[in-house]
Amino acid sequence: MSHEHTARALRLRNRSSVLRAMLRSGATTRNRLAHELGLSAGTITNLIGDLTDEGLLQEAGQLPSDGGRPTSVVSVAPGGAYFLGADVGESGVAVELFDLSLEPIARTFEEAPSRSATAVEIAEVLAQAIEETLAQAPDSGRVYGVGLGVPGIVEGGSAGTAEPSGPITIYAQSLGWDQTGLESICARPDLPIFVDNGAKTLAAAESWFGAGVGTSDSLTILHGRGLGAGIISGGRFLHGAVGSAGEWGHTKVSIGGPQCNCGQRGCLEAYVGGAALALKWRDASGSDHATAENLVAELLGAEAAGNPVATTIVAEAVEILGVGVSNLVNIFNPDRVILGGWAGLLLTSAHLETIELQTRSASLQRPGGQFDMVAAQLGSDGVALGAALLAVEGLIAMPATGHVERARVGATP
Ligand SMILES: [Zn+2]
């Protein structure tokens, strides 16, 4: 490798470190940044100059300093880049537009035409939601990509590398999407497309800005109609050999047991997935609510009001969920467990302590005493924000004027 080549690679790596640090921790001074990244003041000044020229950073006022000259503060330039993040679910898609400060500035939700939408139907509502959200971007020339958080397993692409991507395939067996090419879900020749499983994008968002900040060994649980987990171990995402790691909803909690959407029996999500809980409550109460979200909210309301049937269903769900989480605790020894997704947020609003207690009591004593359990902090926007972060990673890896990859897979913590 030539000297020139090595120097360029080093500069690119340092640029990435500065941009990432600025995005994650907000406004700062050159000195603080130099200290945090272990780079010289001169290097930091040059890199900030380059990033300002790219339109990504800006001067943000001055801090008084004792005796000496005031110190200038730099921050990201919010309008320097925009990203779309999509939470692709079974019941519809939510697309959000974020500026470079990662604040959401527009949001579109498109409902799927049916509750068991096909990939083709989801692709149509996704295209519409992307179009509507994109139209609200203040500068469409500065939209650097769209990230998708999808249900199911994502394979292919080139996770976390600058290599050209191979074809990306999504396998959402529970939705009946067998081997769906990314291009048949989302085809936008004008925008780089990034994709990962929704539990992993939620984990990335919580790790950057939410309940996972400051830990490098966390489990983030996406508890919606089904259950998935984003596992960060030693600061790295667990993807598995090909990408399916974290399909926790299909771990078995009984032999036989209720039928799961995946075709097998006794899966955790067949007991406590949001769809399963909704069905249990509808059968028990005769409620005519149409959506799983409304049914589970009604179940928890009835339980809070002392309804004995609701109380039994919720108590059983909390116990089984605790058993399911304890299996992960024993295997991965996390120091934080983050519960998110719409069903997770509903359950934790009233039962976080009990879920934590059930998890500890079903775990081995040592790992069972070494984690804390918290609700996801980013609410229902976490999957979309984490998906947008996939596109942000593209900009972190390469200067804005350079080559941006067409499609890439893989969340990073
Ligand atoms: Zn299953």
What tens-digit pLDDT sequence spans the chain (413 residues)?
Answer: 578 888 889 999 999 999 999 999 889 999 999 999 999 999 999 999 999 999 999 999 888 776 777 889 999 999 999 999 999 987 889 999 999 999 999 999 999 888 778 888 999 999 999 999 999 999 988 999 999 999 989 998 754 443 445 688 999 887 788 889 988 889 888 888 999 999 999 999 999 999 999 999 999 999 999 999 999 999 999 999 888 999 999 999 999 999 998 999 999 999 999 999 999 999 999 998 889 999 999 999 999 999 999 999 999 999 999 999 999 999 999 999 999 999 999 999 999 999 999 999 999 999 999 999 999 999 889 999 999 999 999 899 887 654 444 566 677 77
> How many Cβ atoms sit within 10 Å of the Cβ of residue 357?
15
d(CA 3, CA 131): 45
- Cβ atoms of residues 359 and 327 within 8 Å: no
CA of 257 to the centre of ligand 1 (A): 11
CA of 384 to the centre of ligand 1 (A): 24
CA of 319 to the centre of ligand 1 (A): 19
CA of 352 to the centre of ligand 1 (A): 25
In the sheet that holds 28-29, the strands lie side by side as: 28-29, 71-76, 57-63
d(CA 307, CA 301): 9
- Cβ atoms of residues 232 and 212 within 8 Å: yes
CA of 142 to the centre of ligand 1 (A): 41
- Cβ atoms of residues 377 and 339 within 8 Å: no
Closest CA relative to residue 394, chosen from 20, 7, 14, 39: 20
The set of long-range contacts for 43-50, using a CB threshold of 8 Å and a minimum separation of 24, is 43/14, 44/18, 47/11, 47/14, 47/15, 47/18, 48/18, 48/74, 50/15, 50/399
List CB contacts of 322: < 8 A, sequence separation 6 or more.
Answer: 354, 355, 356, 357, 358, 359, 361, 362
d(CA 300, CA 313): 10
CA of 335 to the centre of ligand 1 (A): 27
CA of 381 to the centre of ligand 1 (A): 26
- H helices of 186-307, in order, are 198-209, 268-272, 274-285, 292-304
Pairing assessment for the beta strands 28-29 and 57-63 based on DSSP bridges: unpaired
CA of 252 to the centre of ligand 1 (A): 8
- Cβ atoms of residues 329 and 371 within 8 Å: yes
Q: Which helix (H) or strand (E) holds 312?
A: helix 308-332
Closest CA relative to residue 151, chosen from 72, 222, 235, 49: 222
User: Identity (one letter) of the amino acid at 354?
Assistant: T
- Cβ atoms of residues 277 and 302 within 8 Å: no
> What's the token pair of residue 287?
């409620």
CA of 367 to the centre of ligand 1 (A): 26
d(CA 358, CA 354): 6
CA of 289 to the centre of ligand 1 (A): 25
d(CA 148, CA 85): 6
CA of 396 to the centre of ligand 1 (A): 37
CA of 271 to the centre of ligand 1 (A): 10
User: Identity (one letter) of the amino acid at 138?
Assistant: P
d(CA 411, CA 413): 7
CA of 222 to the centre of ligand 1 (A): 15
For residues 282, 287, 288 and 290, what is the CA-based torsion angle, rounded to 10 degrees?
Answer: -50
Q: What is the CA radius of gyration of the chain?
A: 22
The helix/strand/coil state of 195 is strand
User: Identity (one letter) of the amino acid at 324?
Assistant: G
d(CA 285, CA 279): 10
CA of 250 to the centre of ligand 1 (A): 4
Quick one: DSSP state of residue 252? B
The reported pLDDT for the residue numbered 175 is: 78
CA of 285 to the centre of ligand 1 (A): 25
341: left (phi over 0), alpha (psi -120 to 50) or beta: left
The helix/strand/coil state of 7 is helix
